[in-house]
Structure 1
Amino acid sequence: MGSVSSSPVPRVPESRSERKERTRRAILDAALDQLADESFGSLSLRRLTKQVGIVPTAFYRHFSTLDELGLALVDESFATLRAMIRDVRRGEPAPDTLIDRSVDVLSAQLDANMAHFRFIGRERYGGVTVVREAIARELALFERELATDLARMPGLERWGAADLALLAGIFVNLMVAAAGEMVSPEAEDAAVRRGIEDTLRRQARMVVVGAAGWRPLGG
């Protein structure tokens, strides 16, 4: 009995919108690759498009300027992390639980999106104003969302807005500083990485203990 040969499944042609999205993604990935070793201000459009395999003028079909590319990188760097941290805070967990979950989420996100966090860490105080300001806005949004959640925690219900904002800012600054250490070459050593995470947990708990004895200023 002869074997029945199956005909190859016809390949569905890629649509124009799919090609455009694939090229846009390639530009973002190439930018992250180059930004691993240089600042956004020194990013070269010619080198970037050469790596992607397009002519420089084709870049402008996807981004009107290099600054717009930078803003897109900021947006996608924060989008997933913000959603995951929001999920961690859901259900009003106890402070220790919130700290541990947040550190775990941060660590997992760093592993999954190392290039994004290196970009954020370098450009937070970088020379390109529009990118630096976009990062500052994202961090401020983190602080506002966290302050809202902190206001519902036992012992903090009577704190004023100024004190809650200050406490939220301390937590966010701790997380950002730790993230910068976690993406450093030294943190590729597992023991160093664990040490950074443990230090972050202890620092955050110290803040919680201090907050318990703080006399709100009001406002």
Structure 2
Amino acid sequence: MKTVGRKASINSQEIIAAALNLVGPHRSISSLSLREVTREAGIAPNSFYRHFKDVDELNIAIIELAGQHLRAIIRDARSLIINERSVVRVSVECFFNEMRKPGSTLPILLREGTVGSGNFQDAIKKQLDFFAHELQTDLERANSIAPRYKTEETLVVAKAVTQLVFAMGGNALNTPESDLDKTVEETVLMVKFILKGASSSKG
């Protein structure tokens, strides 16, 4: 006979969903405890341990989920790009639009990189590196059509843009909705400055 209020069985995605319910828009996932996650999920600790060895492993799974959402943003941006002039704006707008959606996991990537265990931070870095390498691929594709950068510089440029966009996104997490358009415009301009500077350094 199961304990009143507890589920007889649960899957890992339901545990992740329970953890995300606790995090909300401002709280760090590194502050989650096993007790409150299991209470929110309506399970006993033993049920939790069938899916995750500890809360750190749960947090890494959440970060990987946020990374999946980030990859979806990249795909959406690519599908909306009509011409080269729209690349920066469409990409930045897709990023910020996703960031402010209710229930978005992107804010986790924006605020979690300096907290938690070494494994936790490594998981964040892995997702940022993925973003940078995807951007590098796009830059090299554009470069093959209209050469602007030295080939060995594309990853450096991609990392600079990634750090900028994530920093601006992190700053925007606590700003009023009315200021978001201004932040998007500033980010677009800054990215263009980085790309222009990298282009002018060629040769």
The verdict on a shared fold, with TM-score over 0.5 as the criterion, is: yes
Q: How has the CA–CA distance of structure 1 residues 60 and 196 changed in structure 2, closer, same or farther, with 3 Å as cutoff?
A: same
Corresponding residue to 1:195 among 150, 173, 182? 182
1:183 maps to 2:170: no
Corresponding residue to 1:160 among 151, 158, 162? 151
1:99 corresponds in structure 2 to 88
For 2:28 and 2:69, locate their aligned partners in 1 and report how far apart those are by CA, in whole Å: 23
For 1:123 and 1:99, locate their aligned partners in 2 and report how far apart those are by CA, in whole Å: 25
Q: How has the CA–CA distance of structure 1 residues 26 and 87 changed in structure 2, closer, same or farther, with 3 Å as cutoff?
A: closer
- Contact 2:10 2:47 survives alignment (8 Å): no
- Contact 1:124 1:135 survives alignment (8 Å): yes
| 1:39-97 deviations in Å (ceiling 9; x for gaps) | 33432101111122111221112222222211210111011221331453469865531
Flag structure 1 segments of 5+ consecutive residues without an equivalent: 1-18
TM-score scaled to structure 2, two decimals?
Answer: 0.82
For 1:86 and 1:71, locate their aligned partners in 2 and report how far apart those are by CA, in whole Å: 23
- Contact 2:98 2:104 survives alignment (8 Å): no
- Contact 2:73 2:98 survives alignment (8 Å): no
- Contact 2:29 2:59 survives alignment (8 Å): yes
For 2:103 and 2:190, locate their aligned partners in 1 and report how far apart those are by CA, in whole Å: 23
Q: Percent identity?
A: 27
Flag structure 2 segments of 5+ consecutive residues without an equivalent: 1-8
For 2:112 and 2:82, locate their aligned partners in 1 and report how far apart those are by CA, in whole Å: 32
**Which structure is larger by alpha-carbon Rg, 1 or 2?**
1
- Contact 2:136 2:155 survives alignment (8 Å): yes
- Structure 2 counterparts to residues 50-65 of structure 1, below 5 A: 50-65=39-54
- Structure 2 counterparts to residues 83-94 of structure 1, below 5 A: 83-89=72-78, 94=83
Q: How many equivalent pairs are there? A: 191
2:22 corresponds in structure 1 to 34
Q: Structure 2 counterpart of 1:171, which letter?
A: V
| 1:162-209 deviations in Å (ceiling 9; x for gaps) | x1111001111121112212321x2xx332111111111111121222
For 1:106 and 1:118, locate their aligned partners in 2 and report how far apart those are by CA, in whole Å: 11
Q: How has the CA–CA distance of structure 1 residues 106 and 47 changed in structure 2, closer, same or farther, with 3 Å as cutoff?
A: same
TM-score scaled to structure 1, two decimals?
Answer: 0.76
For 2:89 and 2:53, locate their aligned partners in 1 and report how far apart those are by CA, in whole Å: 41
Tell me the CA shift for residue 121 of structure 1: 2.5
Q: Structure 2 counterpart of 1:139, which letter?
A: L
Counterpart of 1:200 in 2: which secondary structure? helix
Q: How has the CA–CA distance of structure 1 residues 28 and 171 changed in structure 2, closer, same or farther, with 3 Å as cutoff?
A: same
For 1:88 and 1:140, locate their aligned partners in 2 and report how far apart those are by CA, in whole Å: 18
Which stretch shows the higher mean deviation, 206-215 or 191-200?
Answer: 206-215
- Contact 2:132 2:162 survives alignment (8 Å): yes
1:81 maps to 2:70: yes
CA RMSD across the alignment = 2.4
Q: How has the CA–CA distance of structure 1 residues 182 and 192 changed in structure 2, closer, same or farther, with 3 Å as cutoff?
A: same
For 2:194 and 2:166, locate their aligned partners in 1 and report how far apart those are by CA, in whole Å: 15
